[in-house]
Each structure stands twice: as C-alpha cells, then as structure tokens.
A and B are shown apart, each in its own frame.
Chain A
C-alpha cells in the first residue's frame, strides 16, 4: 500500500494538471489544508476490516451487478449536427474549432 501522501501545494498542482484545471496560487494555498483534512477523513477506508468474499468483485461494478438485456445494435435516429453545433462556443459550420495542438505536449 502506498504511503499516505503529504497534501501540499506540489500535490495539488500535480493533480490539477491531471484534471486539466488551472488554479491560482491563492486557490492552491486555500485548497491544500482543505484537501488535507478531507483526505485525512477518507483515509479510514484504507484500514477497514472487510470480509474478502464480500469485498471481491470487478473494479468498476456499481449497484447493478450485471445485465444482459442490452438493446439490439441497430441504427436509430440521432441528433442533427446543426442542433449540436448550435451550443458550441466556436465552430465553422461543420467542425468544432480549437487552438492548433499538433506540437503540443498534452501529458
């Protein structure tokens, strides 16, 4: 098990970058003690005594364990591109417009 992390500005900046979220230095300073307290509380899950049989299961399983009544994979009506583009902040009539990114490091 990984060690409990120190929740300081460095970790906040790292996570914010992963989340594609720009933060001001004032926000980083305010968030560090808040997240330290919240993560300190949720830490409890790491030490829970769980019955292995009950805790086991596929990682992403939610309240519906499985369902096998998926609908048939057949084409149906879809929204018109114009209806979707109407909400886009920038488009050229056919495509969404974004800044040039071919040379960008998005990691």
Chain B
C-alpha cells in the first residue's frame, strides 16, 4: 500500500512544510513506525527504534510549520541511522557486545545536520560488527535479511540501512563506507547508495574503522532523494579536520550525457564476469544508454585495481587495529569481571566483547604493522595505494565518468560465505578502490537477475565513479538514467500479512 512515505523526499518535505497541507511530520512518522512494526520482524533491519526521540523531533517540525518557520528541506522525512553513528543519549552498539550499555553524549555531525534540516531519526540500523563485513551477518544481534528474498543477505556492512530503505520503512538512511559498505548493500537491495569524496562529510560521531577510508553517505530510493540527504550533511566541520569545502552537489539544469567522456574499465569488466554474466550485462545496459545518448565512449585500464583487495585488506585492518585499541574495558562498554592485572583486563574484555571477524581483522592489522613485517606489508600496501590514487587521477584526465558493476553478483544466501573470510573479502573487489583513492562512487539499481530456477529476480547494481568533488555529476547521471527508465527502484514484494 502506498502512502506519504513513498513520495519523493522533496515532495514529502514540501507537503510537511506547507501549512495549508494537512499532512504533518507526526503523520509521516506514524506511517513509518507502523511499517516498521509490520515488516521489520522478518527483516531485522533495526537494532532499536527511537520512538520517543522521533516523536519529539516530529513535533518540533510541526510546531515550526505552525508558527510560520521553515523546518528545512528534509522536513518530517523519517531517517534511519546506521548504528555506528552517534545519536545523543541513544544506544550505540556497532552491533558489538563490547559496546554494551554505551550511550554517546552527543550526536554525530551527519545526524545533527540531517535533524537540523528537518529529518526525524526513527531508529538505529543493523550492521556487520564495527562495519567489518559484506553481508550484515557479522552482527552480535543476528543478521538482517534481504527484503527481496529473506533467505539472502542484504549486503553489508550498512545492510540494515539498505534493507530499511528497500522495504519502504524509511525514505532515507545514513550509512558508512570504508570499502563498499554503502554501495554494496545498496546494490544488493536495489537502491541508490553514494560514497562521497573523502572529506565531503564529517566523520565526527562515526565510530572509526579505517580513518583514511571511512566516509558517511546517503542511501535512498532514487538519486534526488540521495542528493537531498547529501546536501544536508556535507560540508566542513571543525570536529573533523579532514573535511573540506567541495563543489556543491546541486543538480545541473537540463543535464544530458551528450559529450560526457564515459569509460569502461577492463579490470572491472573482468571482475563482473564479462557481458554474459548478470552483473556485466547490467553494465552494458547502462553504458549503452549513455553512449547511445551522445556520451563519448572510452575504454580504460587500471591494472592496480586488480590488486585492490590485497592492498585494502592490509591498510584497512592496520587502521582498524589501531582505532579499536580504545575498546579496552576502561572508559566505556564491556569490562571483563575479575581481571587481576591491567593487561588481563584489556585482553579479557576484548576477548569477550569482540566477535570473530573483528578479532581476525585486529590480528591481520597488528601483524601488518608489527616489527619485522611493517615494511613488507603495510608500507608496501601504502605505496601501492599511492600508485592506485595516481592511476585514478590519470584516468580522470581523459574520462568524466567510469562505469562498473558494484558487486560481482546478486545477493547470496545467508551463511554461504560465513565460514570463508577470504570469499567474503572478495565481495568487495569492485568497491574498495574508490575508498583507497578517495574518489566518490554511486551505486544505482540497474535491473535484476533473470527470474528462474533461483527464485525471485534479484537486484543488480551499477557503479558510477568520478573525480574528487564530482558527486553532483554522479547524481545528475543517475537521475538521467532514472528519467530514461534505465534505473529504477522496484519495491520488494510485500511479505504475507504486511
């Protein structure tokens, strides 16, 4: 059943902002909470629903409208927040036992800015523990399920946010992306997800995983909705020294891809299985649409992208091992009982609090930074990273846009890769290079697998890459593809009784 929640975000906010329109932020919130109650039992997208906070925020929006003030461009729009971002006073778990009981004293900047623009935070969404994973199965609170097929994963690590948007529980969600954690679940759930340029969005209040890689970004049903959220959260922040003023993300008037230099990348084509494979075929359809409309075709080769996984799985765990040192049972979260020495307190609290994947990555990262191995592993990976960045800079001298698949295939069955960490890491083969290079990339829905022996058709994602600061172009191209019918959000079939 469609309702106000299914309106485009700008239209929904315009109705809430219009004092003559009877629709209120509190009505919209009630619709969102009703859907969460009806549908989230079978998905587990949310770790907690913040009804009291959301009612207070929605009331403030309605009061602003009533007194003639403008509550902002996201007025009354329900927003889900990945549970590695702080909402003041609400539990912040990172889907880990080690943060049991922790309630941060202040909002993440991205959350505060979205709320200042009128958004209403309805709850915190599930993730792989500390955002380490590609399926949302590494959560201490159980996996999230894919709304298109509940026997399959939603992708990860922002799987709860992706599932919440895809299932129509909220129009907008915040995710974080260290190696693909926004784009990969967006692709597997059939929505839009954007990794902004490194430095576009403040990470203040985001629990750090890989500080030179982490970005906060929007997840939405369409490009314009994602743009609205990005515009609200972007911009320099005194609390995050890596943030910079970048080109505005506003829409270009009368955008057309004519004359745009659009390149395929040989290494990405190979990773997607070529044009015969479902992911590769989706890339061909998008390239065909852009080139058919007058974009100039290019073919690029970025050989280091074929090595991006080994580089990423040294750099990211190295940074994680350092960032996660703060979880030691002393300042917050879980503390082991009856530790007799400080060392035992640290080691036992961490043993009891962290899950298996987090321990693996801490060990890989600690090894890569340890005496005797740091030069051969971490420093070598950083040299490769610098070379990879240089190769992207060269590529964007002769191309405006790169096009690839987002993932090698559609959503896989729950448990399929659970016992094979390396197979799970290889899910990120098409996404990690953007984080290593610091460039923006957007995943958009680009059709489905053929319906057949595997059951329901599953969403496929295509990824658009641009030079730093060009998120506006990515969103313009995605919106143009939507207008032409080449990309569309398709709601999952409603589960029985919903």
Contacts and interface: CB of A to CB of B under 8 A. Distances in A.
A46 B347 contact: no
B314 A45 contact: yes
A48 B384 contact: yes
A18 B350 CA distance: 13
A69 B390 CA distance: 24
Contact of A64 (B199, B332, B346): B199
A57 interface: yes
Given A19-B321, A42-B310, A63 B212 contact: yes
Nearest to B423: A37
Given A18-B366, A101-B342, 12 more contacts: A20-B350, A21-B350, A22-B351, A37-B421, A38-B364, A42-B310, A42-B377, A51-B390, A56-B386, A61-B382, A63-B438, A104-B342
A39 B351 contact: no
Which DSSP category, helix, strand, loop or mixed, fits chain A's interface?
A: loop
A41 B313 contact: yes
Interface stretch (B127-135, B183-191, B323-331): B323-331
Contact of A63 (B198, B325, B384): B198
A77 to B, nearest CB: 10
Which DSSP category, helix, strand, loop or mixed, fits chain B's interface?
A: helix
Interface in B373-389: 373, 375-377, 379-384, 386-387, 389
Given A1-B375, A45-B377, A87-B101, A38 B342 contact: no
B360 interface: yes
B354 A35 contact: no
Top 7 A-B pairs, shortest CB-CB distance: A63-B438, A62-B212, A89-B335, A55-B383, A22-B347, A101-B342, A22-B351
Contact of A62 (B211, B346, B364): B211
Interface size class of B (residues with CB under 8 A): 35 or more
Nearest to B366: A19
B105 interface: yes
B227 interface: no
Contacts of B346: 20
B253 interface: no
B241 A70 contact: yes
A34 B421 contact: yes
B334 interface: yes
Contact of A89 (B311, B332, B348, B363): B332
A19 B211 contact: no
A96 B384 contact: no
Interface string A28-57: 000100110111011111101011001111
B370 A2 contact: no
Given A15-B366, A21-B350, A34 B360 contact: yes
